[in-house]
Structure 1
């Protein structure tokens, strides 16, 4: 069983657990803020994903959003990065834009990723070479006119940094063709990978690995470019994220940078 196969199966089986609980009566708790939700769907989904991974790799190192799993990716060795429900606010409100996501990492390099959006009927996946959507190979858009770019902000920062987030939104709407915000980082990055969006950006420092790693891998395997907000190669824990189709990436970085000056 390859790591790609395991990541794919774990994401699919986890998503099945979450989908069964979607739009049902759930007790909703909050974590760090009034808009940071968690339900038993998150914990039960994560447990199912871990069970599937450990069926194939009993000694697997797990990095996961919920419970007591690691919260950062080890620099050496193999690890599995899990987001049982990315877009929990959407999930809680009954909106269909949420995913179950699994990435396999070896020595700090992503080797496989799967993002399943069961309520949308979409499954994104990538091995070391290609990215697919529902089994069909995908690529980023070929658009070059920034005035026609559709750009999505990802990773809202919390109420204490709402002013900064507002500045980012202002810059995006002024300097690109249009913007979208979906409230689910992984599905947003998947949309960049398949060309639905031309870029996705965040100026949030130290974005969580479960919010980013799988989607970054999808974009890169689909031919896109991903950096931090300074234009340096993206890696977990860096400053922000700029993921684009690559045609005008430096200019996208420059326009996003204006929002944090």
Structure 2
């Protein structure tokens, strides 16, 4: 069994465990703010994944949102970057629109990405260089779009924040429409699948984007921070993922006007993960 096949096996196992326990009462805690939630199921899912990986590959390194491997500061060897439940707020309130995300790197290179939309039983997955899939169906290459003919995804809360509303409001106005799904991992794979044309946010951690980044890039999407710079898998960052033409249009035509503010934001908020 390859590492990739093993990752598929354990992500399905973790998803089934979540579904088996949906009727049980959750223990809910807050982290950085009242809307930043973590549940006992987040912790249990991460523990399950970590235990399986450690049993099969004791020399691999793991970074998980809920505390495992935060001291990992290099991509040497094999590194797993895990979000056990991406979209915890959706999980708590809706019991849907959440995903398990896994990104795997080998000696600094992207190896595989997996994002499991648990309640729809949809696994988005990719090996770097071999294309991306939704379950058994290969995803096609993304077509280019212009902003006025594109659906973009972003959190509407950003439109209420100080200078950030000045950055995003013109983009929303000029787009065909805007959506908010509440799960970064799903937003990435929705771009890969052509469900939306771009996803933008000013704040993501490695576990939020590691798996989805690899999948989206396999369909030809461009993934960068909002200054157009390549993402580092171990650093928090702003994000824009889009087909090539749309990425170029948004970065050069809209975001570049705020290079100073974006640079200061990155320096102040994302100097580390």
Match of 2:205 among 205, 208, 215: 208
In 2, distance between residues paired with 1:140 and 1:183? 25
Task: Kindly indicate whether residue 217 of structure 2 is the aligned counterpart of residue 247 of structure 1.
Answer: no
For structure 1, list consecutive stretches of 5 or more residues without a partner in the other structure: none
Secondary structure, aligned partner of 1:48: helix
**TM-score, normalised with respect to structure 1:** 0.89
1:94 deviates by: 1.9
CA contact (8 A) 2:146 2:245 kept: no
> CA-to-partner distance for each residue in 1:96-139, whole Å, 9 max, x for gaps?
11001111111232201111111122110011211000111013
1:45 deviates by: 0.6
CA contact (8 A) 2:28 2:39 kept: yes
Secondary structure, aligned partner of 1:235: coil
1:68 deviates by: 4.0
Task: Kindly indicate whether residue 164 of structure 2 is the aligned counterpart of residue 170 of structure 1.
Answer: no
**TM-score, normalised with respect to structure 2:** 0.85
In the alignment, which residue of structure 2 is the partner of 1:148?
A: 149
For structure 2, list consecutive stretches of 5 or more residues without a partner in the other structure: 262-273
In 2, distance between residues paired with 1:18 and 1:156? 29
In 2, distance between residues paired with 1:238 and 1:188? 17
> Pairwise CA RMSD of aligned residues?
2.3
1:154 deviates by: 5.6
Residues 9 and 156 of structure 1, relative CA distance in 2, 3 Å threshold? farther
In 1, distance between residues paired with 2:49 and 2:68? 15
> CA-to-partner distance for each residue in 1:22-64, whole Å, 9 max, x for gaps?
3542121111110111111011111111122223212221100
Residues 256 and 151 of structure 1, relative CA distance in 2, 3 Å threshold? farther
CA contact (8 A) 2:61 2:72 kept: no
In 2, distance between residues paired with 1:238 and 1:31? 17
In 1, distance between residues paired with 2:210 and 2:223? 11
> After superposition, where does 1:172-191 map in structure 2 within 5 Å?
172-191=171-190
> CA-to-partner distance for each residue in 1:144-185, whole Å, 9 max, x for gaps?
23201111126978xxx9335544542331131111111100
In the alignment, which residue of structure 2 is the partner of 1:230?
A: 227
Task: Kindly indicate whether residue 197 of structure 2 is the aligned counterpart of residue 198 of structure 1.
Answer: yes
1:87 deviates by: 0.2
In 2, distance between residues paired with 1:90 and 1:80? 24
Residues 173 and 248 of structure 1, relative CA distance in 2, 3 Å threshold? closer
In the alignment, which residue of structure 1 is the partner of 2:267?
A: none
Residues 33 and 248 of structure 1, relative CA distance in 2, 3 Å threshold? closer
Residues 117 and 142 of structure 1, relative CA distance in 2, 3 Å threshold? same
In the alignment, which residue of structure 2 is the partner of 1:42?
A: 42
Secondary structure, aligned partner of 2:244: coil
Aligned length: 256
Residues 169 and 248 of structure 1, relative CA distance in 2, 3 Å threshold? closer
Task: Kindly indicate whether residue 27 of structure 2 is the aligned counterpart of residue 51 of structure 1.
Answer: no
In 1, distance between residues paired with 2:55 and 2:198? 37
In 2, distance between residues paired with 1:234 and 1:5? 26
